[in-house]
Structure 1
Amino acid sequence: MPRRGEYNVYSTFQSHEPEFDYLKSLEIEEKINKIRWLPRQNAAYSLLSTNDKTVKLWKITERDKRPDGFNLKDDEGRIKNPNDITALRVPFFKPTELIVEASPRRVYANAHTYHINSISLNSDHETFLSGDDLRINLWHLEITDRSFNIVDIKPANMEELTEVITAAEFHPSMCNVFVYSSSKGTIRLCDMRQRALCDQHAKMFEEPEDPSNRSFFSEIISSISDVKFSHSGRYLISRDYLSVKVWDLQMDSRPIETYQVHEYLRSKLCSLYENDCIFDKFECAWNGTDTQIMTGSYNNFFRMFDRNTKRDLTLEASRENTKPKCILKPRRVCTGGKRKKDEISVDSLDFNKKILHTAWHPTENIIAVAATNNLYIFQDKDKV
């Protein structure tokens, strides 16, 4: 069956409610920081979702039939008088409109002092990690009242704090290996077989800084906002403010590939610092074959990099591009001099429009990008 070029909302449910931490006089928003799907075990779907403090496991089920023809109840659901029942009926299932129900199965709470920024399911499908600014905890899916602290970078004196954890992820096939990135631009690979508390990393991936590029903003723009293992488990991608880097797990001294996402913003760092955009956290994603990388930018642009051909592409997610079978046109940003017809000037970019979240289908050439409150899904033109 050919895939349609249109998608409808499948289901909507409230995952977290706003809370108030009276101990710290802190309001906990209901916003969702991360969602991770679990492999499907039966007819139901399962997912993990987290706000700043609490992780929840949800079960999502479909119902398109309802039982009918009861003996002890009437059509309105009221209990019948047994004396009025003169014959027995065989109940049967009657088709109804599809109903999707989400029910909370587990709540993993009270394990994080700081804001949760990551959840990642282990390849054993039994455990998962949750990471905040200073700690990473390991949970068993069946156990909600305790977790194991596997990383703790909190110093004895908080005035000595020099970095925070920004993202964490399990290896796709080795259940003992995970990585976490930091605001200092480093990625640490840890092996849980070596020690229970992974305060010592097995490897650290860090690119030496070029002294000629050193500036007031160097530390801010080197902070890693996202890190992802390739599907093969051989490589990592990391996203900092201006670039995406590909790392080989066998070589920790420097990345094997670096792709500039929006290098033209280097001259705008001062104004981006003033409007807080420099602290935006962009995600990155692999395609199903680990040959292409995608990440977001400003003006609702998103960038795609082909690792084989080294070609890169800038596309725009906008309402004008939402018509079925509409083919996206490549966009170009002009940094100075005379602007060509299809180019957009770097000075006219809209920094309020940004694509922070991106996802690539694991097997098909379908992508999803989130721009403020809009989700755009694009697919290969051959699939439409």
Structure 2
Amino acid sequence: MTTDLRFPTPPSHEGAEALRHEVRDFLANVLVDRSSLRRADSWNGFDRDFSRKLGQRGWLGMTWPKKYGGHERSAYERYVVMEETLAAGAPVASHWIADRQSGPSLLKYGTEAQKEAILPGIAAGETVFCIGMSEPDSGSDLAATRTRATPVDGGWNVTGTKLWTTGAHQADYMILFCRTSGSPADRQAGTSQLLVDLKTTTGITIRPIIDLAGQHHFNEVHFEDAFLPSGALIGSEGAGWEQVMSELAFERSGPERFLSSMQLLIELVGALQDASSEAAELALGRLTAHLVTLRRLSRGVAAMLEAGANPGTHAAIVKDLGATFEQDLPDIARSLIDAEPDAASTSDFVAVLAHITMNAPSFSLRGGTREILRGIIARGLGLR
């Protein structure tokens, strides 16, 4: 029997549209000199100064308690800021992970000391996080983690390797998913999360991984008897799986799951202004319909977060459909305009097409592979 899975009506907030115009005016000013190609790299655009400016505006940690540097605003107001910054191609990488998932995880599971020490810095745009989940040879099978934290006097000794760790070379902290008891055969049991200070902890080696586009965003992070104090434990020992699944719900549901390629759609519409055809009109109409639908679903997840619900299955649906949309876009663009991708081109469309084409394969990998997501969806629908 399948479950009747519905997306709730997106939240409404009387001040949200006024906020939207405020954010747009701000972005139009601070991004005025940002090229189309740099806007296409919004997700990976690392700019601490930009993040600080968002923090000064009160646009980070928006839903958090004021005692931790937050602003106690609604999830939908936060969604408006996310949506507008991504659509404008703003450089969000230095605050993105911390504001989206690491901060909320600490708010939900962290100790009072962790919250007081970390959350105000995130809300100010000063503190950068990375995610220590994936490992060599395990793909998206997080339960196969082999990185181990062994209890020692005063804390933990950590040994193991994390892979595809975005931004580790620039981050201040990592939330590490690891095994604190048992073996990989125990699967989810015996896993925990630890807070890692990447700037002061010894025994950590960060090695770059260069992607298809020749950029350095990914890293291999190796722990060799790295000591973490007992206060590094997030939540309860052995509860890591439940905690990391909650964290992934934040990671999979936002507008970044269908706006990573937005600049290509903008350039495509511009390039077709003088070359319109029935095929182009049909393609753009279909893309627009898909985009509007994805936005509706993603805003529905924002309503669930506002209500304190667990949107795990809903988030997986948004992530899977969003990745499909983004990966289809370069091929659709090439079918409409006879141009070969070239990052060095003086044509904004051609340069952005090259960038998105090279990055598109990763869209169905980050945050969980398509196969893993569809398994989660099937389970949520009662099909497995």
The answer to whether TM tops 0.5 is: no
Q: Which structure is higher in strand share?
A: 1
| Bigger Rg, which one | 1
Q: TM-score range by the shorter chain?
A: under 0.3
| Structure with the larger helix share | 2
TM-score (norm 1): 0.27
